[in-house]
Structure 1
Amino acid sequence: MKYIEPVKSVVLFLLVMLSVVLTFLIWTYTPDYKYIEKTELEEILIKPQKDMEDVIRPYKAIFRSDEEFKGTVSNAAMKDIMKVFKGWNVLDLVPVNNNLSANYVNQIIGTNNRMTIFFTGEIPFSAFNTIFQFTDKELPETTFNRMIIDWSNYNSKDLMIYYISGNNQSLFRSHVSVPNMNQFIQEVIEPAKKYGTFKEIERESQTSLYVDNNKTESVKFTYYIEEISPELFKNVLFTDPNIVRRNIESASSEKYTDGMSLMTLDTNLKSLNYVYPAAESGIRIEPSKLLKDSFEFINEHGGFTADFRYASTSTNKNQMDYQLYLQGLPVYSNHVITRMTTIWGDSRIFHYKRPYFSLDMDIEAEKEIKELPSGVNIAERLKNANNIALADIDEIVLGYYLTQNQELNIFTFEPCWFVIRNGSWIKLTPEVLGGVKNGLE
């Protein structure tokens, strides 16, 4: 018993010392970070990414020389034109008119030694930052949909460019220094001499239409299609794909949701519709930022799964649209969706609607040459049509009408004439124009 107290003291001392040692070790412990590996999120790319100039491309170019118009809608020509623009130095950018008359626009386009390139949608100047070299660091927050290049003084290596906005009725002008003027003449101006003749369709108190004066040959294509797995889009669009629930609503409808956002599939239209309600915003976004945000959002996941081109903007809705093209011509359909739409919200995407198919390969044996009437012929027939007034339309375009065979999983692209009116397309059938078919279908 006499040893109990000394033993207690020794044990207590040892416990105190052990506590001190453990506390010291905890305070001075440094973990070996070299064994901790950082886990990176896997980047999902549905298709290869694209550059802005792949998405912003003109659909038509006309050239005025020797008192006549030449023109083309060739995909190769549009690529060459945009390639030649690369690196041009824009020395100034001056507003000229913010209340353009239609007659003034027609006069500018109709002056000799000028070419006009047409864009479907209104282009913010900042979107050309990767193409032109602007001297002005602060570009105006405005847009244009026609660019007119005056090459009268090309010997001085100086060109004049006019930018016209159809929506804003505004005109800007700039002087441009061209590093390689010979390239511009040889690759843009000289080839235009071999283009077909275009005719100006004048309309009272309106801008003119410019259409091909010759019959057109185009190829009817048939493609196998590849459905893009909705799982890829689920992994891209939802913050945590693991908690997303899938519901098959019907034979043609599926829904994916995580409780905050919703993705709906229409298997008939081959369309995907995503919405994140919490991001809805009524704050208007400037066109330059809207285009940048929309393009980057789609491009980050490789969402330009075919030749999609910027088509239109609705700044009131913060909406951007991209149209499917094939062989340089727009594709329209009542059977499947051929347009991508983004609506930007509060610092992120609010609404995203798009097709979830891509073109696999064309069936060579199904190719067929189609001859269509000239654009001039179409314009003349529109003058006499009862249900479409020539004065009411924005453009006459050659394009493809898309139909599908669901059983064989193939698409057929039929070349046709269309009119564009208030952002919507109308297929020009004999019934629409009246009279005999005359090669329209």
Structure 2
Amino acid sequence: MIENIKTFILWVLIITSVLFTWQIWTYQHDYNFINETEYYESEQIGEERSLEELIQPKQVITHEEDNSFWIQPTNNHYLLLMEELKQVNIQEIRRGSNSFARTINDVQGIELLFSHEIKGEWIHRFFEMDQEEPFPMEGLDRIIIFINEQSSETEVSVRFMSTSEDVLYQANTNLSATSLISLYEQYEDTHKTLVEERSLLGSAGGLYTVNYMPVEEVEANKYFYTATELSIEAFKNGLFNDPEFVKQYSLGNDEVFADGIRMMSVENDGYLLKYGQTSQSLQPGAGERSIVDASIDFINGHAGWTGNYQLDQWRDSLINDRVTYRLHVKGLPTLSTNFSNQDILTFNITRQGSQISEYVRPLFHFENEDLFDGHYDTVTLPSYDDLISIIEQKEILETSNIEDARIGYYMRIATYVFFEPSWFVKERGSSSWRRIDTSEQAQSRSQARESDDSGLE
């Protein structure tokens, strides 16, 4: 009898041990994966932003009689213009004639060009819409508001155009011709640069894109800022569901935080944060919303926006969705840096299925005011045609391969952070911008002008 009891107890202990062992080996913490609709709010370091604040034109062009002018984006010109356009009511959207694209310089009005196509469904956020039906275009990259002298129904019409699809639609507006003229006459001549249209071979190969390039010199200011580091703890607490399960270790010069499912690394001397989820943790299925909408919510819920970043490019696909927001200074994009990793200029988010799989962003922000409180050095940049001459003379690259050219900022990190205006070009097939040094030519032109002035005295 006693032996039977001992045997029974022994079997109970064996079975209990097996159960405990199985539970230990099969235990997995109850991780909640970060997807596009569910995330854990963290300490707010920056600001929340809306889609309307993050999408601004790369250029605003006014067409006045026989001339076209680039409205420089300083003093929040583009942001204020987009706010004013929200009051414009558009009606009776209809398919337009493609011949209009070839006669745009013959009209009087304002043209907005975007660096990447924006979704047609977003137009409801930028204008007042009478109709409830969906916007008829998938995407567009140009908006032209012009005085329509041929219409008896409206004084001012608006055109929505897609360069890649070669599609355009036209609509009536509630604007008067006088209101449209006053809209762009508010800009002082010091903020307007004479431009002409140039056709550059786009990335699609054989498709020429519309670009307006300055035909005169452009003056832009240098800026100097101090950089402030952001709290790593705030990101750790927001990006990991249970921070107490997170392990921290060093990997070379980088600090790594991981919980077995997610990993966050602080790289490049603390300037850059990278976050990702393991491929095993990602769930199949497509995202319900655009990567742009999903990424805005994600960043708003994870410390927010620390600086003026604008939508630069994005891609929705069946496999990987990706979006990039680029740092802007006084309205101009920051296109290159002396830092080893160009990612410090952008916020980058990748989505697989419905889940955010990667998040890369800088770990610093700038003080609101620059160090010199309004006293800046001014840089004089050459016209586009002079830029091309410099490139050809120095044999920097094949000008026939130029896909795009822009004036933007070069960021140099030292004791302080310096932003210097420069010309940049993008070669076909490249994802990065190349800075073109024109300082030597600018100095020669300045000396020539001084010589001319002294000769006149």
What's the TM-score bracket when you normalise by the shorter of the two chains? Answer: 0.7 to 0.9
For residue 80 of structure 2, give the secondary structure of its aligned residue in structure 1.
helix
Q: 2:284 & 2:166 partners in 1: Cα distance?
A: 26
Number of equivalenced pairs: 385
For residue 169 of structure 1, give the secondary structure of its aligned residue in structure 2.
coil
1:34: which partner in 2? none
Q: 2:396 & 2:284 partners in 1: Cα distance?
A: 37
CA contact (8 A) 2:160 2:168 kept: yes
The amino acid that maps onto 1:367 is Y
1:23: which partner in 2? none
Q: 1:381 & 1:145 partners in 2: Cα distance?
A: 30
2:140: which partner in 1? 144
Say if 2:343 is the partner of 1:347: no
Q: 2:187 aligns with which of 191, 198, 213?
A: 191
| TM-score, scaled relative to structure 2 | 0.75
| Residues 239 and 307 (structure 1), Cα distance of their counterparts in 2 relative to 1, 3 Å cut | same
Q: 2:328 & 2:290 partners in 1: Cα distance?
A: 24
Shift of 1:270: 1.2
| TM-score, scaled relative to structure 1 | 0.78
Shift of 1:238: 1.1
Shift of 1:425: 0.6
Q: 1:412 aligns with which of 404, 410, 418?
A: 418
For residue 120 of structure 1, give the secondary structure of its aligned residue in structure 2.
strand
2:60: which partner in 1? 61
Shift of 1:283: 6.0
Q: 2:321 aligns with which of 318, 323, 335?
A: 318
2:18: which partner in 1? none
Structure 2 stretches of 5 or more lacking a match? 1-39, 445-457
2:294: which partner in 1? 293
Q: 2:120 aligns with which of 121, 125, 128?
A: 125
2:398: which partner in 1? 389
Say if 2:433 is the partner of 1:425: yes
2:78: which partner in 1? 78
The amino acid that maps onto 2:297 is E
The amino acid that maps onto 2:111 is T
| Residues 274 and 391 (structure 1), Cα distance of their counterparts in 2 relative to 1, 3 Å cut | same
Q: 1:128 & 1:74 partners in 2: Cα distance?
A: 21
Fraction of identical pairs, as percent: 21
For residue 290 of structure 2, give the secondary structure of its aligned residue in structure 1.
helix
2:232: which partner in 1? 230
CA contact (8 A) 1:60 1:71 kept: yes
1:90: which partner in 2? 90
1:5: which partner in 2? none
Q: 1:82 & 1:343 partners in 2: Cα distance?
A: 28
Say if 2:108 is the partner of 1:113: yes
Q: 2:153 & 2:390 partners in 1: Cα distance?
A: 45
Q: 2:384 aligns with which of 375, 378, 382?
A: 375
2:337: which partner in 1? 333
For residue 307 of structure 2, give the secondary structure of its aligned residue in structure 1.
coil
Return the index of the structure with the highest Cα Rg: 1
Structure 1 stretches of 5 or more lacking a match? 1-40
**Cα RMSD for the two superposed structures:** 3.1
CA offsets, 1:350-405, max 9 Å, x none?
Answer: 11111111002421188322222223321343455634333332322111111112
CA contact (8 A) 1:371 1:439 kept: no
CA contact (8 A) 2:309 2:327 kept: yes
Q: 2:388 & 2:286 partners in 1: Cα distance?
A: 38
